[in-house]
Structure 1
Amino acid sequence: MKAMKSNLFLCLCAAVLLLTGCCGCRSHQKRTQRPLIGTEWKLVQLGGRTMEGADADSFTLRFAETGDVSGKGACNRLMGSYQVGEDRSLKIGPLGATRMMCPDMDSETQFFQMLDGVTHYDMDGPMLMLLDEGSLVAVFQAADSETK
């Protein structure tokens, strides 16, 4: 009987720790959450590949309240429009861009193609995930949250 009470007590303690731990996660997420609109988003992952080296600081997006989107690729600037829905649907484009030759045109081409196919977005704290029909295609981090 004593062992059963001890096990029950341990189970209750574990449950309390799990529940209070989740509250801390939600609190952190709310504290670090950035709005989609007005935040500069830096690309950290594209098509499952982590951005490294010069690419790590190159690719950005910013959504304006006016329905305009701007940013940059490997060396070209982009501009265009976007539409967002209540169900987190997101349509980016049509897009225009400057036409400079970049050392790494493959990454920039993949970036522009990804933006053209985005259908939805999701957010987790300072992270923005872009989705194409439910598949994760890119992950961005709020530029002002990198040092926090």
Structure 2
Amino acid sequence: MLKIMPLLIPLAFLNTCAGDESIAGYVDPSAEYDLVEIDGEAINLRATITFPSAGEVVGQAPYNRYFATQTVPYPWFSLDGIGATRMACPEMAAETAFFEALEDMTLSEASGDTLILSNSDGRQMVFVAR
């Protein structure tokens, strides 16, 4: 057993060198993804999401800018510490619905210019890069 230990120690550090395992490591960091539907319904208000660097999430909700941290490994999805500007808007219900949906998402799938966030309850948000 002691002869194997020197071989196992370098393996323990491989994960730290692997790079970003969050969704940010699987999408174009310069791409801005526009929300096109929530739960199968087309969205008429502009909302976006971007992943500019490891674990960083920023975007535009229907009215306010937001930011968060995403650190779980792909394909899992979980936003921590969502913060947003607090500009009053005429359709606050749309803003609230967007953030509630975003917080409910637990899985991500990036394929070409499409990003799909979903959860085990069947909820889904579809974004397309522009």
Counterpart residue number, 2:117 = 130
Deviations 1:57-114 (A, max 9, x none): x20001122311100111101011112414x111112200011111221111111011
2:104 aligned with 1:117, yes or no? yes
Counterpart residue number, 2:36 = 44
User: What is the TM-score with the length of structure 1 in the denominator?
Assistant: 0.64
| Cα 1:66/1:120, change in 2 over 3 Å | same
Counterpart residue number, 1:63 = 51
Per-residue deviation at 1:37? Answer: 4.7
User: What is the TM-score with the length of structure 2 in the denominator?
Assistant: 0.72
Q: Which amino acid aligns with 1:43?
A: L
Please list every run of 5 or more consecutive structure 1 residues that lacks an aligned counterpart in the other structure. Answer: 1-34, 144-148
Partner SS, residue 69 of structure 1: strand
Counterpart residue number, 1:16 = none
Deviations 1:42-70 (A, max 9, x none): 00001321012xx1xx2000112231110
CA distance in structure 2 between the aligned counterparts of 1:110 and 1:119, rounded to whole angstroms: 16
Partner SS, residue 36 of structure 2: strand
CA distance in structure 1 between the aligned counterparts of 2:91 and 2:27, rounded to whole angstroms: 28
Per-residue deviation at 1:134? Answer: 5.9
Partner SS, residue 135 of structure 1: coil
2:87 aligned with 1:100, yes or no? yes
Specify which structure has the higher proportion of strand.
1
| Cα 1:106/1:117, change in 2 over 3 Å | same
Contact 1:120/1:134 (8 A) holds in 2: no
Partner SS, residue 85 of structure 1: coil
Q: Which amino acid aligns with 1:49?
A: E
Moved over 4 A (4+): none
Q: Which amino acid aligns with 1:46?
A: I
- Residue identity (%): 31
Please list every run of 5 or more consecutive structure 2 residues that lacks an aligned counterpart in the other structure. Answer: 1-25
Contact 1:37/1:65 (8 A) holds in 2: no
How many residues were matched structurally?
Answer: 104
